[in-house]
C-alpha cells in the first residue's frame, strides 16, 4: 500500500515539474506579447481577451465538473501574468493601481472625430453636440457595437452612447459592450428626452396604422401608445432613423416616435408633442475614449467587477468603499454570458483615482474579485 502511495506521489511530482516548466514558458510568452504590442503601437490592455481564454480552457476540459476550479486557476495565472507585465511597462504613460490594474493615461484631444449610434437628429446626436459643440468631425453608425468597433479600429477618437434612462433604467447592451471592449469612459452628458409622434404633412391621427421607433421610444411612451391598441408597433434601429424611414415611405398611415429636432430635420409634421409617460424623462449618455483622462475635476469613477458566488460577497465588497468614506453613486448587475447565476457588478463611486484613499479601496476590492476593470474617472 505504501509503495502504491509513493508511486502516486511520484506521478504528482512529475506533473508539478511539467506545470512549472509550462508556467515559465507561458509567462515568457506574455512578455513577448507585451513587447510586440509596444513595438506595433497596439493596445496593451485587452480585458475581453481574458474571458475568451477562460471560455476556451473550460471547453477543452474533459471533466466538466472542474469548470469552477479551472476558471479560478486561470484567473490567478492571468493575474500573475499582468503583474509580470506591469514590471515591464513604461509607467509614465500608465496609472498603476494595486499590483495589476494598469490604466493607459491620455489627455482630451483638441481635434476630435466623434461617433454616435443612429441618424443625424437622434438623441445621441443631440447629446454629442451639447457636450462637444457643433464644430467637430461627426459620424454615425447603425449599432452600439459599431461605435465601439470604430474606436478599436482607430476610426474615431470618441464615441457617445446612452447608458441609462430615468424612466426605463439601464441600457443593458451598452453595459455588456463595456466589458467586451477596451475603451474608457471620459465624460457624461445628461439630456432631457421629449418624444413626439411624427408623420407626413398630410397624416391624420385616426389614419395611423403603424408606428416605428427604437424600443426605448416605445417603452418611454407606453401610456400614450396604450390609447391606440390597434397601432402596430415596429421596432427600428433608432428614433431619428425611424423618422427618416417614414419620410422615405411617403405613406400617411405610418408614423414614428422621435424628437422634434428629427421631425424638423426630415421635414415631418409633429402630430403629438411630449408623449413620453414621464415628463421628467432624462437619458444619461457616456463619452468613451481609448485612454483614461484624469484631472483635478474628475469626481466620478466607474468600475466593473465579478465575485465568487459566496454569501455576503457583494456586501463585503461594497463595504470597502463605506469604510474608506467613499460614496456609492450607483450599483447595477448584469449576468455574465455563458455563466448561469454569475454576475458583473457595475459600480459608480465618487472620487479621484489619484487619491490614495480611493486607490486603497479599489485595491481591496480587487483582492476580493475574480475580475475587475476600471472604466474611467470623469
Q: Which residues are catalytic?
A: 283, 285
In residues, how long is the chain?
378
Closest CA to 356 of 378, 325, 328: 325
The whole-angstrom distance between residue 22's C-alpha and the CA centroid of its chain comes to: 34
Residues 143, 144, 146, 151: what is their CA dihedral angle, to the nearest 10 degrees?
160
172 grid coordinates: 443593458
- CA distances 203 to 199, 210, 248, 270, Å, are 6, 12, 14, 10
Spatial distance between the Cα atoms of 212 and 228, rounded to a whole number of angstroms: 14
- Check if the beta carbon of residue 243 is closer than 8 Å to that of residue 297: no
165 grid coordinates: 434612462
Strand 232-235, strand 210-213: pairing? parallel
Spatial distance between the Cα atoms of 155 and 244, rounded to a whole number of angstroms: 25
Spatial distance between the Cα atoms of 12 and 29, rounded to a whole number of angstroms: 25
Coil, strand, or helix at residue 251?
coil
Coil, strand, or helix at residue 285?
strand
Closest CA to 44 of 32, 29, 31, 34: 34
Amino acid at each position: 500500500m505504501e509503495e502504491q502511495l509513493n508511486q502516486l506521489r511520484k506521478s504528482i511530482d512529475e506533473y508539478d515539474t511539467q506545470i512549472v516548466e509550462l508556467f515559465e514558458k507561458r509567462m515568457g510568452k506574455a512578455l513577448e506579447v507585451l513587447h510586440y504590442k509596444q513595438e506595433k503601437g497596439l493596445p496593451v490592455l485587452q480585458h475581453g481577451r481574458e474571458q475568451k481564454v477562460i471560455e476556451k480552457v473550460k471547453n477543452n476540459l474533459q471533466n466538466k465538473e472542474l469548470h469552477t476550479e479551472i476558471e479560478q486557476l486561470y484567473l490567478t495565472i492571468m493575474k500573475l501574468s499582468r503583474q509580470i507585465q506591469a514590471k515591464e511597462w513604461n509607467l509614465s504613460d500608465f496609472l498603476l493601481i494595486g499590483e495589476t490594474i494598469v490604466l493607459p493615461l491620455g489627455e482630451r484631444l483638441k481635434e476630435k472625430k466623434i461617433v454616435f449610434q443612429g441618424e443625424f437628429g437622434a438623441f445621441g446626436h443631440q447629446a454629442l453636440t451639447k457636450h462637444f459643440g457643433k464644430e467637430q468631425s461627426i459620424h454615425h453608425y447603425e449599432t452600439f457595437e459599431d461605435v465601439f468597433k470604430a474606436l478599436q479600429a482607430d476610426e474615431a477618437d470618441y464615441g457617445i452612447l446612452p447608458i441609462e434612462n430615468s424612466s426605463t433604467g439601464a441600457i443593458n447592451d451598452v453595459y455588456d459592450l463595456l466589458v467586451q471592449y477596451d475603451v474608457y469612459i471620459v465624460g457624461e452628458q445628461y439630456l432631457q428626452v421629449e418624444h413626439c409622434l411624427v408623420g407626413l404633412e398630410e397624416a391624420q391621427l385616426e389614419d395611423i396604422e403603424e408606428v416605428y421607433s427604437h424600443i426605448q421610444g416605445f417603452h418611454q411612451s407606453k401610456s400614450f401608445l396604450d390609447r391606440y391598441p390597434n397601432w402596430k408597433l415596429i421596432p427600428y434601429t433608432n428614433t431619428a432613423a425611424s423618422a427618416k424611414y417614414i419620410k422615405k415611405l411617403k405613406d400617411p398611415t405610418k408614423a414614428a416616435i422621435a424628437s422634434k429636432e428629427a421631425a424638423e430635420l426630415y421635414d415631418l409634421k409633429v402630430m403629438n408633442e411630449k408623449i413620453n409617460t414621464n415628463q421628467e424623462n432624462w437619458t444619461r449618455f457616456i463619452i468613451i475614449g481609448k485612454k483614461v483622462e484624469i484631472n483635478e475635476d474628475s469626481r466620478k469613477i466607474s468600475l466593473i467587477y465579478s465575485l465568487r458566488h459566496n454569501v455576503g460577497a457583494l456586501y463585503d465588497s461594497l463595504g470597502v468603499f463605506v469604510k474608506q468614506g467613499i460614496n456609492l453613486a450607483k450599483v447595477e448587475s448584469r449576468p455574465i454570458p455563458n455563466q448561469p447565476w454569475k454576475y458583473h457588478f457595475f459600480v459608480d463611486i465618487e472620487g479621484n483615482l489619484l487619491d490614495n484613499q480611493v486607490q486603497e479601496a479599489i485595491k481591496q476590492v480587487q483582492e476580493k474579485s475574480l475580475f475587475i476593470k476600471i472604466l474611467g474617472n470623469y
